[in-house]
Structure 1
């Protein structure tokens, strides 16, 4: 699976103990005297994505600029995709002092951590130091960021909707005359996977990694508890008990047994490691161009379904300030620059001009060979709409993103924020069960006829029915107030 937007298999974050919360809040509320301190403040920023060879080189340039702008420096701590969720659980649970961290609906879980007190409520800081950011970001993102009326992280201004795609190696699609526009469902892939298997022995027909999960017409409020996207009944279900899930997992197991899926799918981390025909990605307009650049070969994609705006997608990329931060004001000043300062945003995004890229005009750039040493996940870093476009992208790219956002449909549960407090223990158990069974089931490695009953029995034993009942009660009350 492409790593530019990890799907929601990592959706649940840490459950933070109440004793930590009290300790963290105590630290976060003791505001530093940074505004009058002449020595630059060092901010620690945890980001998601593979550590890059040139990060320190770019960081030096970032810090030269930040010292002049806000008398601060930044220390970037990059944590690889598959390790980020676990790492941030340790950081938060230990009470480690840090300033800023990437958070979202699928890693370092925003809702859970905010409700448990790990993040600073940003409303006052935004009003004082982030007015430009508030104005720059689409109001729908701010609405999605609200938890019980407060904002605990700054969303990245990007695509609003979830847009699942089949992503094909362009060379093989052309070689075998594949009309990708006719491929929508998982089952539609079968004849082409068979062709690749028979004719390209060194190519993996369908390559996935351990974070892959099934794309179903459901909005997962807390994985695997969800509501349907196909109607407005807002009935809460366990997706592992749906017919759609059963069919999908049976197809995946069939493909795995046929040799279409890589044998290490349940454990693989690297989505660039092998030759492949197709994988799954979550994208947006012109994602193919960025993916092709980062993968080193051309890809083309086709949508699996129309894009939907969900609570998960509006909180799919955010930056939070830790309650353990001694510098919340400086952190907000940095985040304000990150989302409004074009020079800084592009430096963090693309690296150093003349080393990692060169300008072809005021708004577009050409990637240089050394950017292989600084490949950042653009979507995770802040406001995309002030970044340069690539030379082979249209100048109207960001306007088309805005149209994409306007045309995306809304989940019937958009705006609903589940309060897990009454079922915290059971919710924590859901994550453990998914960690145990999810990757092997989703990848097709195991027979769903044997393992679906096992995962459902385990989910019931830890109290999923109690979670469903509590969520249904809350969503019914929310619906009644709409």
Structure 2
């Protein structure tokens, strides 16, 4: 998750553990499913201008504790040192940046918040547990703080971005994203495809044909790799296909993170339940994953793997899922070093046709200020500081000349692997985001296409925010059950028929209660729209 997400960009823990990113990072700056826009905005129609925290008066020093997902980059300390140097004469902030592994993210951050641990900024997401944390009262509403100290943080995000990413009618966390529709890609070993004389892959069937070819000829290479840990449900092998298949276009619901058990389709405002009636297309994904697993194509230990990136970068994987468009340059460099001659290429089946993709313009990643923070104003000043171009570049891409090189105003070249781009985790916005100058033309075209909101079909639920409070217990119980069965089903590890029967028996009662409450709130939203 994610990194959409991402690296588990993608990988994620849905309501219990991560991206997408799912989701994690990519070379555009970041993440998992989501949305964003361009242009200037204000979080509310009457947000007044005020002190942004960047004036001449030097403030007393304050240390902000910031909790982010993933692994600490090798050059993180150098980046923090430079950032603190730049802030010394204005907002005077020191940074205590704590990283939590993707596989532990949901559980550890929930414990931090529930225990009242002293935290000033924390990553959260709809595919993680942001709705539950808001309902529990752990996050500070941001309208007043944005109005007083966050004018620049507002300007780099569109009004649409704020309007579509409120929770229970308020801005409880700063939305982060660089496009209206998150990318989804299969990372494919281009050198092996060419070795077998296969043309560029254009369909899912061709992708699987390539995987079988690898199985036949490359004994030391795993043909297919997805995610199986925790709640990385969106990047399990079968469920990942929902992002790239149409007719019907199946979208995750607002109640169960990335789980497809409750879902939307055909933009009709209805909540569908797989336990009531199995969607034939979804069942075909589960059956396909089972065949691929039993045929030895999907990694045999998929449910036990935690660090998916390292497996991909070893050069011993032919196809892997990725929660963004394009090949991250850090991953391309690592795989070339670990497996000389190996080269990755992106393959996506996301349509680049006007109106083909439905979106609610909701972002996948957010940064929140916990209620317990003793430095809320300074935290917002810091977020405002990150909305300056040079400061954004520093935190998103690292030290200029060492970690990255600027290419014009909107692209960059990564120079080493010591600070992989991860703006998605704490500074991401569509105005300052840079694209990897090494991206292929098709990847760049996808990004540009999905930055234009007019190319997408708005969901009838755009602006809707689900309040999980009435069914919080049922969601917790559902997630506990799903942890036992969901990824195992969609990664093909278990028999579909018997496992689905067990899953349904244990989870359908809770899923039904959640569905009824979600539909009630949707009906109320649509009636008042």
Tell me the TM-score normalised to structure 1 length: 0.85
* 1:474 lines up with 2:521 in the alignment: yes
* 1:445 lines up with 2:493 in the alignment: yes
| SS across alignment from 2:417 | helix
Cα separation, partners in 2 of 1:37 and 1:131, compared to 1, 3 Å: closer
* 1:269-324 alpha-carbon deviations (Å, 9 max, x no partner): 2223241111122224x45656535655642223334474545x623111111111
Counterpart among 120, 134, 149 of residue 114 in structure 1: 134
Give the Å deviation of 1:62.
Answer: 1.4
* Matched-pair contact (CA < 8 Å) for 1:119–1:323: yes
Counterpart among 433, 438, 450 of residue 392 in structure 1: 438
Counterpart among 301, 310, 317 of residue 276 in structure 1: 317
Number of the residue aligned with 1:221: 254
Query: Within 2, Cα distance between the matches of 1:40 and 1:155?
Result: 27
Give the Å deviation of 1:9.
Answer: 5.8
Counterpart among 459, 463, 474 of residue 411 in structure 1: 459
Counterpart among 132, 143, 156 of residue 176 in structure 2: 156
Counterpart among 157, 160, 165 of residue 145 in structure 1: 165
| SS across alignment from 2:484 | helix
* Matched-pair contact (CA < 8 Å) for 2:202–2:349: no
242-251 vs 124-133, which moves further: 242-251
Number of the residue aligned with 1:302: 347
Number of the residue aligned with 1:350: 397
* 1:98 lines up with 2:119 in the alignment: yes
* 1:44 lines up with 2:59 in the alignment: no
* Matched-pair contact (CA < 8 Å) for 1:120–1:152: yes
* 1:65 lines up with 2:68 in the alignment: no
Give the Å deviation of 1:38.
Answer: 4.6
Number of the residue aligned with 1:266: 303
* Matched-pair contact (CA < 8 Å) for 1:114–1:152: yes
* Matched-pair contact (CA < 8 Å) for 1:389–1:395: no
* Matched-pair contact (CA < 8 Å) for 1:157–1:384: yes
Query: Within 1, Cα distance between the matches of 2:344 and 2:409?
Result: 27
Cα separation, partners in 2 of 1:106 and 1:65, compared to 1, 3 Å: same
Number of the residue aligned with 2:14: 11
| SS across alignment from 2:94 | strand
Number of the residue aligned with 2:377: 329
Query: Within 2, Cα distance between the matches of 1:309 and 1:50?
Result: 33
* 1:74 lines up with 2:89 in the alignment: no
207-216 vs 386-395, which moves further: 386-395
Alignment size in residue pairs: 453
Within-5 A mapping of 1:166-245? 166-184=186-204, 188-210=206-228, 211=232, 212-213=235-236, 214-215=239-240, 216=242, 217-223=250-256, 224=259, 225-232=261-268, 234-238=270-274, 241-245=278-282
| SS across alignment from 2:123 | strand
Query: Within 2, Cα distance between the matches of 1:204 and 1:314?
Result: 35
Query: Within 1, Cα distance between the matches of 2:441 and 2:185?
Result: 23
Counterpart among 372, 376, 388 of residue 341 in structure 1: 388
| SS across alignment from 1:470 | helix
Give the Å deviation of 1:415.
Answer: 2.3
400-409 vs 448-457, which moves further: 400-409
Query: Within 1, Cα distance between the matches of 2:67 and 2:77?
Result: 14
* Matched-pair contact (CA < 8 Å) for 1:101–1:322: yes
Runs of 4+ residues deviating >6 angstroms: 394-400
Query: Within 2, Cα distance between the matches of 1:2 and 1:469?
Result: 29
Counterpart among 294, 299, 319 of residue 257 in structure 1: 294
Cα separation, partners in 2 of 1:422 and 1:201, compared to 1, 3 Å: same
For structure 2, which runs of at least 5 residues remain unmatched after alignment? 18-54, 243-249, 337-341
406-415 vs 203-212, which moves further: 406-415
Cα separation, partners in 2 of 1:166 and 1:410, compared to 1, 3 Å: farther
Which has more helix, going by share of residues? Answer: 1
For structure 1, which runs of at least 5 residues remain unmatched after alignment? 15-34
| SS across alignment from 2:371 | coil
| SS across alignment from 1:45 | strand
Cα separation, partners in 2 of 1:229 and 1:163, compared to 1, 3 Å: farther
* Matched-pair contact (CA < 8 Å) for 2:255–2:468: no
Number of the residue aligned with 1:28: none
Tell me the TM-score normalised to structure 2 length: 0.78
Query: Within 2, Cα distance between the matches of 1:332 and 1:233?
Result: 36
Give the Å deviation of 1:100.
Answer: 0.1
Number of the residue aligned with 1:292: 332
| SS across alignment from 2:164 | helix
| SS across alignment from 2:71 | coil
Give the Å deviation of 1:174.
Answer: 2.3
